[in-house]
Amino acid sequence: MNVLSLSILSFLSGSLMFSYWIGKLLGVDLRNIRDGNPGAFNLWHAKGPFWGSLGVVLDFMKGFLPAFIIIKSGLVSGWGVIPVGIAPVLGHAFSPFMGFKGGKAIDVSFGVWSGIEFFRVSLAWAICLLFLFIIIKIILRREVSPKNSATIILMGMLPVSVFMFFSGVSNLIIILWFLNLFLLLCTHHAEVSEAIPFFRQEKTI
């Protein structure tokens, strides 16, 4: 199969809106919950941790499986890893099953990077996020809202790029990383804009 065909398959995998469909089966339209995001976080908010966790796992796997099967196995190489790798994220953000609208694509991004680098990059991302939350909540003593936490998740991607550079990851994979960051900034533009005052405020005593 060529790169275009594999990219389409990856896109279709990412476009499967499991959390939204689970919500519909449970009698909830996630587009009417909080910010209208049809993803796992709103499923968690609407139906509790069990269904929310199921949504997280399914959204993760739809990014992990195409990345692991297609890229990690070597079915594509060179520049081909970029369209195949970003396709699940695009599929989730612009799902044809929802009129080319979709979710925020954080869970599927974690899945993609767990598949491409077999958890090395996604683990580094998680560790960076842990340190950021510790600094903000314990050292700066600020409360973190869901909107602010989304911005922090994106901020955590920047130090990971440094880790990737010094750990010998190929330049193509780093380009894919920044392309993923750009797409997440697009899907979280409202949260990032509203979080700016949070990061400007003075430290509370």
Count of domains for the chain: 1
Report the 10 Å Cβ neighbour count for 182: 10
Do the domain assignments include residue 141?
Answer: yes
Do the domain assignments include residue 119?
Answer: yes
- On the 0-12 / 13-18 / 19+ scale of CB atoms within 10 A, 75 is middle
Do the domain assignments include residue 100?
Answer: yes
Q: What is the mean pLDDT of residues 169-176?
A: 92
Do the domain assignments include residue 113?
Answer: yes
Dist. CA 25–CA 51, nearest whole Å: 11
The pTM assigned to this predicted structure is 0.87
- On the 0-12 / 13-18 / 19+ scale of CB atoms within 10 A, 142 is middle
- Domain boundaries, position 120: 3-200
Dist. CA 46–CA 169, nearest whole Å: 39
Q: What confidence score (pLDDT) does residue 112 get?
A: 96
Given a contact cutoff of 8 angstroms between Cβ atoms, the answer to whether 55 and 18 are in contact is yes
CA atoms within 13 A on the CB side of 65: 13
Do the domain assignments include residue 148?
Answer: yes
Do the domain assignments include residue 205?
Answer: no
pLDDT in tens, 66-101: 999 998 888 998 999 999 999 999 999 999 999 998
Q: What confidence score (pLDDT) does residue 146 get?
A: 62
Q: What confidence score (pLDDT) does residue 205 get?
A: 39
pLDDT in tens, 13-49: 999 999 999 999 999 999 998 888 899 989 999 999 9
Report the 10 Å Cβ neighbour count for 203: 8
pLDDT in tens, 94-136: 999 999 988 989 999 999 999 998 889 999 999 998 888 888 7
Is residue 204 very low, low, confident or very high in pLDDT (cuts 50, 70, 90)?
very low
Do the domain assignments include residue 136?
Answer: yes
**Residue type at 35?**
D
Do the domain assignments include residue 31?
Answer: yes
